[in-house]
């Protein structure tokens, strides 16, 4: 099984989805990057705005999808304008680090105003395709229109 990887970096301002180094898609400094086998693919598609209706079932599916991702590593440093919040978070992160020493999380709270974060999360292709299929059919049904009472639909009038 080859997992799909999602990585982000706030210093480079990049977000990337990768699948085994074969296919990658992402954004870096506001530009869309698409690569197959490391070679860039030119952007030949026109952008079209599509409006998807937001319903509770979509939000519920989104949260179940996010819960399937596994964090591989997280590194970062955070700072808030209020020093009291920084102090509380510093104590909380210090307590969490002492209890879980085997994790690959290197998160710190600073008082200097520096904010940066980078990390990587993975998911199996099977799980990704399962959730994509569920979302696709939900959105397709919403865009097609729900059947009205009596078995009639908007596209097939009753004769």
Question: Considering only 56-60, 98-102, 121-125, 129-133, which range has the smallest mean pLDDT?
Answer: 98-102
Q: How confident is the model at residue 155 (pLDDT cuts 50, 70, 90)?
A: low
Backbone angles phi, psi at 20, to 5 degrees: 55, 25
- The Cα–Cα gap between 108 and 117 comes to 10
Domain range summary for the chain, segments of one domain joined by +:
4-41+53-144
Cα dihedral: 34, 7, 117, 74 (round 10): -170
Sorting pLDDT into bands at 50, 70 and 90, what band is 159?
Answer: low
For the segment 12-18, the average pLDDT, to the nearest whole number, is: 86
Q: Quick check: 13 and 5 in contact, CB under 8 A?
A: no
23 Cβ partners below 8 Å, 6+ apart?
35, 36
Residue from 40, 1, 34 nearest 18 by CA: 34
Banded model confidence at residue 108, pLDDT cuts 50, 70, 90: confident
Rounded Cα gap, residues 21 and 35, in angstroms: 9
pLDDT of residue 53: 63
Retrieve residue 48's tokens.
């079209």
Say yes or no to pLDDT of 145 above 60: yes
- Mean pLDDT for 129-137 is 82
């Amino acid at each position: 099984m080859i997992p799909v990887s999602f990585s982000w970096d706030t210093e480079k301002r990049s977000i990337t989805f990768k699948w085994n180094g074969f296919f990658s898609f992402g954004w870096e400094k506001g530009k869309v990057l698409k690569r197959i086998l490391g070679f860039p693919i030119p952007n030949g598609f026109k952008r079209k705005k599509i409006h998807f209706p937001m319903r509770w079932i979509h939000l519920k599916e989104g949260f179940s999808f996010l819960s399937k991702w596994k964090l591989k590593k997280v590194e970062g440093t955070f700072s808030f304008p209020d020093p009291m919040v920084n102090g509380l978070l510093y104590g909380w992160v210090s307590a969490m680090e002492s209890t879980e020493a085997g994790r690959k999380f290197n998160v710190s709270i600073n008082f200097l105003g520096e904010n940066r974060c980078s990390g990587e999360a993975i998911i199996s292709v099977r799980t990704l395709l399962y959730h994509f299929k569920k979302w696709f059919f939900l959105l397709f049904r919403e865009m097609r229109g729900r059947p009205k009472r009596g078995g009639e639909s908007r596209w097939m009038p009753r004769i």
